[in-house]
Structure formats: C-alpha cells, structure tokens
Amino acid sequence: MKKLIALLLAFMIVLTACGSSADTAGGYTMAEVTLLEENIPDDNYGNYYEIFVYSFCDSDGDGIGDFNGVTSKLDYIRDLGYTGIWFMPITEGYSYHKYDVTDYYAVDSQFGTMEDFENLVSEAHARGIKIIIDLVVNHTSSEHPWFKSAIQSAWDGDTSGEYYDYYNFSDTALDGYSYYDGIYYEARFTYSMPDLNLDSENVRAEIENIIEFWIGKGVDGFRLDACTSFYTGDYTKSAEFCAWLTDVAQEYNPDAFVVGEVWESDSIVKTYYENAPETSFFAFSVSQQEGYINMTFSNAYPANYFWTYANTVYKTANSGESIAAPFLDNHDTGRIAGSVGRDENKVKFAYGMLSLLNGTTFTYYGDEIGMVGSGDDPNKRIAMLWDNSGENLTDNPPGTTSASYAFDGVEEQYADETSILNYYKRCNNIRNAFPEIARGEMKMTYYSDMDVLIFSKTWEDSTITIVVNFSTEEKTVEMDLGELQAELAVEGNATYENGVLTLPMYAFAVFK
C-alpha cells in the first residue's frame, strides 16, 4: 500500500510539474488569438528558442531543470511558433553552466539520461522542432581527463604523451596563458578552461567523432561557442575553422544548421561569413541595450535607421546567400525587457522589429514573458516563470545575486490576449506564414514621414509589402498597398479601408 501511494504521488508530481494541468495546447488556458496558416519551407530559416536546461523546467522535483521537463514543454514552445531549439551545453561539465566540458560523449546527469535526451529530440522532431546543441571545442575543463593527462606529460617533459598535443604548453609566460606548477598553458577565458590545440590532428579527429556522435543522436546542428578564440587575433583562420566544423557536420547531416558566436562588430562578422558561408553567425549588433533595435526607440529618424540596419544584417550574411542570425539578448547579456526599461510596449515592439529582419531569429527563454536579468551571469539565467504562484520554479543557478520578475508568468500571460507572450506568438506566426520575411530580397518605397517605413520583400517570385509605424502616435498612409494579410500593434489594431491604412503606435502591417 505504501508503495502504491508513493507511486501515485510520483505520478501526480509528474502531472503538475511546471504547473501544466489544463488540457489546452501547451498545458494552459489560452486567450483567443487569431492565427494565420503556416507556410514553412524545409530549410534552415526559422524561429529558434534558446534554452538553459538547468533553469527551464524540473520534472523530478530535485530543483534542477531537466530533459524530461523540456519535453513536457515542447507543445508550449511549438504553440508559440518556434521551429527550433538551441540548447546551451548539455554535455557533462564542471560548472553549473557546463561551458567547461569534462566529457563530450555524455549528457550531464543533472539534466537526465541519454535516453531522456534522445526521447526529447524525437518528441521535438515529431512536432516540427529542430534541435541544435552548444558545441564547445575552443577549450575543455581543466578537469577533463585529456587535460589532466596532458599537463602530467608536460610536467614529465614527455612531449609524446597521448594527450600532450591536445593543448598548447609553454615554458615561458605568454599572453592568454595560465600557470600551473612550472608550466604555462593557453587558457583564454580562465585558468580552468584550457584552450584546445586546434591544429592537432588528434584534436581534429576527436572533434569529428564528437560531431558524428551527436548527429547520430539526432541533433540538427550546433551552436559554436567562442568563435573568436579559436585562433585568437586571427579572424580569418578562426572563420576557416568554423567552415571546417560546418563541413564536418554537413558530412554527417547535409542539412545541418550551424551558428557561431562572434561577439564583434558587423564588419568582423562579415569576415566570418565570407570565409564560412555555410555557417550562420549571431548578429550581436542588433542585440542588447546599445544594439540597433533598442536604439531605434530613441532615434530621430527611426524608419531610415531600421531600414539601414535591416540591410546591414542582410548584407553581412552575404546578401542573403548565408543565413543571418539576429537576436535581442542571450545568456551572456542583459535581457531586453530590462534594456527597454520594462516598458511593456517597447518589450513587445522590440520583438516586432526583430521579427521583420531577414534570417533565423533567436529568442532567449523567458523573453516571451518579459523576464529581466542583468549583472552577474547567473542573474541572466534564472528560473523560468511558469506561473505567478512561484511554486513551479527550478532553483536559480548557483551564484545568483538578484532574481525578480517584471511581468506575469506564462499561465497568466497565456490567458491574456494582450500579453507580451501572445504578441510574441503572433510575431512568430506572421514569420511562419510569410516565408518572404526571413528570406526575401528587400526594397524600400519612398515615404515622406520619417516615422513610417514602407518596404517589400521578394522571395521565389512572391512579394509582400510591410508598413511599420515606429512612433508612439497613430499614423495614416494613403496608398494602394494590395490586400491586408496581417497586422500587429502593441495596443489595438491596424485597419485598411478604402486605400487608407491606419496604424496605431508601434505597429506593422503585411500586404500582398
């Protein structure tokens, strides 16, 4: 009998994990949101959702998010219009964030088993969601068996030791090197993350095995960590290494999607695209407080400003030959809701602007409910707020010094059609309904009002026209724009009657 009660309890905990109990999609009672029919080509453009498993959803009650927790939220993620997930490192790591790998061939036991992960991948695929995982090959943990063996060889003066050439050692102090008991070794980030010797044939063979291994587990691609540190100071050589990684991935899966982290200006990101055209690179210029999108709010000529950077993002990605990867924030940056001063209209419209850019967009988990976080890294990675009760949260990562929420949780926002969440959902839906937005060639139509932008996107002989009002005032545009297909305003609705388009503040409309 005791056993039965325990079983029943375990079953109930699974059912109520992360607060999912309602019988609607995503597990929540939903407000009426009119959605358009999707038209999603089978390519690597898409709307990706970045997840830190640790802080997302805990299925077994130990306080740490896990693969089964994510699996229970796949309906939610797909319902929001996301077609891909980027997982921050899932391999066994030394720190809570796992960017210091100790075993490339094992999932971290905090997150569950390999079986759980494979189940997650197959459940994601069944819903039309692709999975890419962080590939951290610039460095390992100093606790990785390779490094322990290599530094022992270095101490022993045994340069033929099995793992000696996996890392870069020196007898003398060098820039970017750490010191340990008479030996210097390259460690660009910190002493506990020694850089791999990427010129080593053995390391390259190992990386090939790692990529083959994970593609064998069903992943659809990789996010490349620290692409400027591959060959520090040499962007071209680092980019060539990105190209090699993508080649290897596409050898095992011709459709593999690979996106790299180059936290640099557009011109440096362009160098990467030129040398690695099959790889995507995050558009950091778009992101964060000082990035293009947040700066649009204070620009005196926002239509021209938006148009200029939308073109820059497009041209940086080899004018659409490669896939751009714009985003608003990630696990290393302050969250966008904080950057725009927790102003709900700006939180929404920032995502609206992002959603009009070419490429594959990335959304950091929790941004869809306006989560905030800045300062110490763990503060940017706090528990996903599934509902206002706060009962279904994971623990916050170790080292969190500040954790607060600016807006309602998922459950409450789902039920409110005017919420940030439902705005995000409609943005994604519009991108999923009009493939021209992510893929199209752009052309501007002259218009005299500096707060209003009219532009078209053409893809495969289909052209749509988009009209955007960047101001906080209502605007009217008298023009033959075709048929109104979709509109989205932060408050109210846009209308198009008798050739007159009325756009409320921070709104856009799509015509065909």
Residues identified as active-site: 225, 261
**Least separation in angstroms between CB 59 and Ca ion:** 6
Query: Could you tell me if 384 and 57 are in contact, meaning their C-beta atoms sit under 8 angstroms apart?
Result: yes
Which of 14, 33, 36, 60 is close enough to bind Ca ion by CB under 5 A? Answer: 60
Output the DSSP codes for 337-378: HHHTTT-HHHHHHHHHHHTTSSS-EEEETTGGGT----SSGG
Comparison of 62 and 376: residue with beta carbon closer to Ca ion: 62
Query: Does the protein bind Ca ion through residue 376 (CB under 5 A)?
Result: no
How far, in Å, are 147, 448, 475, 509, 511 from residue 480 at the CA level?
A: 66, 16, 16, 13, 10
Q: Find the part of the chain contacting Ca ion (CB under 5 A) among 57-65, 283-291, 379-387, 501-509.
A: 57-65
| Torsion angle, alpha carbons of 340, 343, 346, 351, to 10 | 80
Query: Could you tell me if 134 and 223 are in contact, meaning their C-beta atoms sit under 8 angstroms apart?
Result: yes
133: CB partners within 8 A, 6+ apart: 86, 87, 89, 90, 214, 219, 222, 223
Q: From CA 63, how far away is CA 404, in angstroms rounded?
A: 18
Comparison of 70 and 490: residue with beta carbon closer to Ca ion: 70
Comparison of 27 and 352: residue with beta carbon closer to Ca ion: 27
User: Residue 117: helix, strand or coil by DSSP?
Assistant: helix
Query: Does the protein bind Ca ion through residue 58 (CB under 5 A)?
Result: yes
Comparison of 55 and 339: residue with beta carbon closer to Ca ion: 55
**Least separation in angstroms between CB 58 and Ca ion:** 4
Comparison of 59 and 432: residue with beta carbon closer to Ca ion: 59
**Least separation in angstroms between CB 394 and Ca ion:** 7
**Least separation in angstroms between CB 31 and Ca ion:** 30
Query: Does the protein bind Ca ion through residue 108 (CB under 5 A)?
Result: no
Contacts 24+ apart (CB under 8 A), 489-493: 490/344, 490/345, 490/348, 490/349, 490/352, 490/423, 491/345, 491/418
Query: Could you tell me if 187 and 147 are in contact, meaning their C-beta atoms sit under 8 angstroms apart?
Result: no
Output the DSSP codes for 65-84: --HHHHHHTHHHHHHTT--E
Which of 17, 30, 64, 468 is close enough to bind Ca ion by CB under 5 A? Answer: 64
Q: 65-84: which residues touch Ca ion (CB under 5 A)?
A: 66
**Least separation in angstroms between CB 139 and Ca ion:** 27
**Least separation in angstroms between CB 68 and Ca ion:** 8
Comparison of 64 and 211: residue with beta carbon closer to Ca ion: 64
Question: Nearest residue to Ca ion, using CB?
Answer: 66
Q: Find the part of the chain contacting Ca ion (CB under 5 A) among 53-61, 98-106, 293-301, 466-474.
A: 53-61
Total of chain residues touching Ca ion, rule CB under 5 A: 5
Query: Does the protein bind Ca ion through residue 264 (CB under 5 A)?
Result: no
Which chain residues interact with Ca ion by CB under 5 A?
Answer: 58, 60, 62, 64, 66
